[in-house]
Structure 1
Amino acid sequence: MKTLSQADQDRIAQAVAQAEKTTAGEIYCVLAPEVGDDRAVPLIWATSAALLLPALALLAGFRPEMLSRLFGGWSIGHAAAQDVAILSALLTYVGLQAAIFAVVAALVSIPAVRRALIPSGIKKARVRRAALDYFMAKDLHLTRERTGVLIFAALAEHRVEVIADDGVHAAAPSGVWDEVVADLVAGLKRGAIADGFVAAIVRAGAILAAHAPPRPDDRNELPDGLTVLPK
């Protein structure tokens, strides 16, 4: 993950503080390097490949004795020695499975390959769940007038979630939050994480100002800075 400088984090905190001057709402920003634990993915793919590929080869016409000859075994002429040939072929089959398992596991262990093999629907649901969990854990649902907004970016999954609490979500058109997402995504695609967050914060602040104006007794209920989750 690209490291955010202290100056970048200060810019984000200042953008949140500035946006909240015009609204009773609260904006909370989170950056997650990766939200999923995919350590089992290489094992799943390697096991599947080791079980299926040799079996498919046999279905395509290969036979145990052919496997033995393919990998250097001797032809057996005496009928009584066929059991030895079959045992040799089975050992070759098991060795082939082990080799396939090792190669596929190593390949899928490469982070970019591993993430590419995870269906987009699973990644979307995972990031959504992580954002909702964080929304609840940080009490964004307990702000005074239910006007908390979470801006959540998961870098490895290339996903952004913006969650607005009931107090502002019901008042603002749902489509406006897509604009907040688009602003953040545009910055992330350029590798400008801080710029993306600042643009999203400014957009979210304008929405909050229009639908949750400031109160005379308003107070800052949540920290303004960016929370960066551990890897």
Structure 2
Amino acid sequence: MAKKYTFTESEKQQVEQAVKDLETVSCGEIVPYFVGSSDDYAEASWYVSTLLSGFTLVLVGVLSYTWMLPFRITPMEVAIVAFVALVIGFLFPLLFPQAKRWIIPKERQAQRVRQRALEAFLNEKVFETEERVGILIFVSRQEHMVLVLGDEGISRKVQTADWQTVVDEVVMGVKANQIGEGLVKAIGICKELLLKNGFVRKSTDTNELDDGLRIED
């Protein structure tokens, strides 16, 4: 089984402190959210098992037809070999879940990550801040994908392309197995973007969302 990423207490505190530092000078509200994977991708087992068993049948058929096998093989033996290949193919993604990133089409992974991020955006009530200035930084480790979703107050000024530097910083952290550090740097970039676009903290602002890192393995 793939080893889960475990945040140290120090990493959690650093991420939380980065959120607090941002909200000290800006009216923006940041929700950092981490999941080990956005889906279990159960279909991966069927993809591999079908492919492997089909390939095995074709290979055995070709070898038998061209007389390359040093022995005769009966139809029953062919069926057994194909069944064994099917079982191996089915178990492979379960034993090596990180392989699903290469098995499942990228488009489907992106769709699942976005769906999960939208669910987190709603569940964490990122949309309920007074000035609609909530931001979700959603990290899905298995897929190596990051989404930054801003509420309508921020989205009116900060364009989607502006968030790409935030995404890139976290992705580098995921690839280097330093997700906490990547999040801290990404939150710092968010702070610069917010202040650049006039989202400064006012004396009447309150902390509307929890500052801690949300984690789901």
Shorter-normalised TM-score: what interval? Answer: 0.7 to 0.9
Residue 22 (structure 1) shift: 1.3
Does 10-19 or 37-46 show the bigger shift? Answer: 37-46
Residue 17 (structure 1) shift: 0.6
Q: Provide TM-score, normalisation by structure 1.
A: 0.81
Residue 107 (structure 1) shift: 3.1
Give the corresponding residue for 1:152: 138
Give the corresponding residue for 1:188: 174
> Take 1:120 and 1:164, find their aligned partners in 2: how far apart are those partners?
23
Residue 62 (structure 1) shift: 4.4
Give the corresponding residue for 1:24: 27
Counterparts in 2 of 1:169-208, with a 5 A limit? 169-208=155-194
> Take 1:101 and 1:172, find their aligned partners in 2: how far apart are those partners?
50
SS of equivalent to 2:25: coil
Counterparts in 2 of 1:74-113, with a 5 A limit? 89-109=74-94, 110-113=96-99
- AA in 2 matched with 1:70: R
Does 156-165 or 202-211 show the bigger shift? Answer: 202-211
RMSD value over aligned CA atoms? 2.4
State which of 38, 41, 48 in structure 2 corresponds to 1:38: 41
Please say which structure displays the higher CA radius of gyration: 1
Identity %: 26
> Take 2:156 and 2:89, find their aligned partners in 1: how far apart are those partners?
49
Residue 156 (structure 1) shift: 0.8
Q: 1:8 to 1:108 in 2, by over 3 A?
A: closer
- The answer to whether the aligner puts 1:222 opposite 2:209 as a matched pair is yes
Residue 56 (structure 1) shift: 6.8
Residue 32 (structure 1) shift: 0.8
> Take 2:132 and 2:192, find their aligned partners in 1: how far apart are those partners?
17
Q: CA offsets, 1:161-201, max 9 Å, x none?
A: 11111111111233221111122222222222221111111
Give the corresponding residue for 1:132: 118
SS of equivalent to 2:88: helix
Preserved contact between residue 56 and residue 81 of structure 2 (Cα < 8 Å): no
Residue 150 (structure 1) shift: 0.4
Preserved contact between residue 45 and residue 93 of structure 2 (Cα < 8 Å): yes
Give the corresponding residue for 1:70: 72
State which of 82, 106, 123 in structure 2 corresponds to 1:120: 106
Q: Provide TM-score, normalisation by structure 2.
A: 0.86
Q: CA offsets, 1:67-105, max 9 Å, x none?
A: 9x523xxxxxxxxxxxxxxxxx33223212212212322
- AA in 1 matched with 2:143: E
Preserved contact between residue 15 and residue 213 of structure 2 (Cα < 8 Å): yes
- AA in 2 matched with 1:99: V
Q: Between Structure 1 and Structure 2, how many residues are aligned?
A: 211
Q: 1:104 to 1:18 in 2, by over 3 A?
A: same
State which of 2, 6, 27 in structure 2 corresponds to 1:3: 6
Preserved contact between residue 46 and residue 90 of structure 2 (Cα < 8 Å): yes
Q: Point out where structure 2 has 5 or more consecutive residues left out of the alignment.
A: none
> Take 2:190 and 2:132, find their aligned partners in 1: how far apart are those partners?
15
Q: Point out where structure 1 has 5 or more consecutive residues left out of the alignment.
A: 72-88
